Chains A and B, each alone.
Chain A
Amino acid sequence: MKNELLDYLLNKREKSARFKQIHNNLKIHHENIKKSFHVTHKHAKKLLHKHKVLLGSLRHGAVKAAAGAALATSLFVSPAHTAPVPTNNAASVPEPSKTSLMIGPQNPEKVTYNKDQFAEQIKNIMANSGKEGKLSDTQLAQIQKIVKDQFGIDVSRTTDSGFSLLHNYGYAGAEQHVPTKPGDTAANHVSKEEPLAILTGLTSGRAAYGYINPKREKYYFTAQTFRSPNFGTSASKGLEGQPYLVMQMPTPENGNSFFIALMPLEEAGPGVSTGKVFGLPPEAWYFAGPQAGRSRKTQIIALPINGQSFNDDQWGPMEVK
C-alpha cells in the first residue's frame, strides 16, 4: 500500500514535470512567433485590432457579428446585374420582370426562362467569378431561385450529410470511360455521342465507388472530394451516386455554350496538378458545344441536389423549355 502510494506520487510528479517542460517549450516558441509576426507586419496588428480579429482564437468563430446584416442586404440583387436579355423566341415565354431575381418576400413569384435566357442568367450571376471557387451566398441564392423555379429542384452547397466540395465552380476536364462490369472494353462504350470511344479509352481500374451502371457511366461526373474540408469525416460517407446539378458556365472561351445536366458523382478527381477541379465523361463533350468539345475543357458549376432521387433514365442533359 505504501509502495503504491509512493509510485502514484512519483508518477504524478513526473507528469507534472513533463507538462511544465512541454508548456515551457511551446510557450517560448509561441512568444517568438508572435514577436516575429508583429515586427514583420506592424500594419497587420492595426488591421487585426480594427477588425477585432484575435489570432489564437480563430477556431472560436467570427468575432464580429456583421455577417448577418451584410447577407440580408446582399441577397437583393441589383436589377441591372440580373436583367434578362431578350431573345428572338422570347415571345413564347413570359417576359420576366427586370427585378425577377430578387430573392425575398418582395418577389416570391415563380419565373421561368427559355434556354438562352437561362444561360444569360447564369452568365450574369457568374460574371467576374474567376477560374474556380465557392459561390458567394448571393450567387448561391440566385441560382437556387432560378433552378427551383425552372425545374422544381433544390440545390445546395452541401449534401444532406453535410459534405461540401472545396469548389462549387471551376474547370472540368475530360475523363475516360470507366468499366461498368468485369472485362469491360472501350468498344462497349461506342455510341452516337461517343463514336470514338476506342480512342477515348477505358480506365484500367474501377471508379472510386466500384463498377457503374452503364446509364450512369454515360453521364457521371468527378469532383475533388479529397480536397473537401469534410473529406474523411462521416459527412463524406455514402457519396457514391450523389446527384449533382451540373451547369456549364457560358464564357467566350467555350463560345458561350450552355448545358444543364443531372449527373451522379461516381469518381474522385481530377488530380490537383491538372489545374481542373471537375471531370466530365466523354459523352458530355457532345453537348458542351463545339469549342469546349475541341478543347475538352470548360467551366462548370456543380451543386448537390438534396431530398430527391432519380432513376437511371433521368441522368444527362435537361431541356430548358
Chain B
Amino acid sequence: MNKVFYHYLVPLDDSVALIENAELLEKEKEKLIDIIHSIYDHKIVEIILNNIPIDHHERFIGMLAINPADIEIISYLKSHNIEIDNIIQNTGKEIHQEIIAMIHI
C-alpha cells in the first residue's frame, strides 16, 4: 500500500493509531480505517481545489490518476499557491481533532 502525496503533511498515522489501539475486532478496525482514509482524501483534495486556480484542477487530478503517492504533486501545487503545504498541514490537524472527538465521545 502506498502513502499518498499529502501523507507526510498530516497526522493520518496518528488518526489511524487511535483505531489500531482500540479494543475492536480486526475487521471492525479495517472498516473504520477505510472511512478515516476517505475523510482525509476528500477533505485534503477539497482544500487543495479551494486554494489553487480552477484552470489547474484538471492537471492536479490527472497527476493523482497517474500516481497519488508522487510528492512532486506538492511541488506542482506550490507553484500555484506557495502556502499550500501549510494549508494542508492545518487542515490535517483539524481533521485529526475531529476524529479524536468522534472516537472519544
Contacts and interface: CB of A to CB of B under 8 A. Distances in A.
A34 B35 contact: no
B50 interface: yes
Nearest to B103: A22
Nearest to A231: B8
B99 interface: yes
A125 B97 CA distance: 44
A41 B2 CA distance: 26
B61 A30 contact: no
A52 B64 CA distance: 10
A132 interface: yes
A136 interface: yes
A91 interface: no
A227 B36 contact: no
Interface string B1-33: 111100110000000000100111100100110
Contact of B46 (A40, A61, A133, A136): A40
Contacts, number: 137
Interface size class on chain A is: 35 or more
B66 A70 contact: yes
Interface string B36-74: 111101110110011000100110011011111101101
A229 B1 contact: no
Given A132-B75, A134-B75, A19 B28 contact: yes
A231 B9 CA distance: 12
Contacts of B22: 18, 22
B79 to A, nearest CB: 6
Interface residues of B, number: 49
A56 B38 contact: yes
A60 B64 CA distance: 12
Given A23-B31, A59-B2, A51 B41 contact: no
B8 A55 contact: no
- A55, A58, A134: most-surrounded residue (chain B CB, <10 A): A58
Contacts of B25: 15, 19
Main secondary structure of the interface of A (DSSP, over half): helix
B7 A229 contact: yes
Contacts of A66: 65-66
Nearest to A21: B105
Contact of A56 (B41, B64, B78): B41
Interface in A224-256: 227-229, 231
Interface in A63-92: 63-64, 66-67, 70
B60 to A, nearest CB: 9
B61 to A, nearest CB: 5
A57 to B, nearest CB: 8
Nearest to A63: B65
A115 to B, nearest CB: 29
Contact of A229 (B3, B23, B57, B99): B3
A57 B37 CA distance: 8
B72 A136 contact: yes
A62 interface: yes
A53 B42 CA distance: 12
A25 B64 CA distance: 29
Interface of B: 1-4, 7-8, 19, 22-25, 28, 31-32, 34-39, 41-43, 45-46, 49-50, 54, 57-58, 61-62, 64-69, 71-72, 74-75, 78-79, 98-99, 102-103, 105
25 contacts: A15-B24, A19-B24, A19-B32, A22-B32, A27-B35, A29-B39, A29-B102, A30-B42, A33-B39, A40-B50, A41-B49, A41-B57, A43-B54, A47-B57, A47-B61, A53-B64, A55-B45, A59-B1, A60-B1, A61-B2, A62-B67, A133-B72, A134-B71, A136-B72, A231-B8
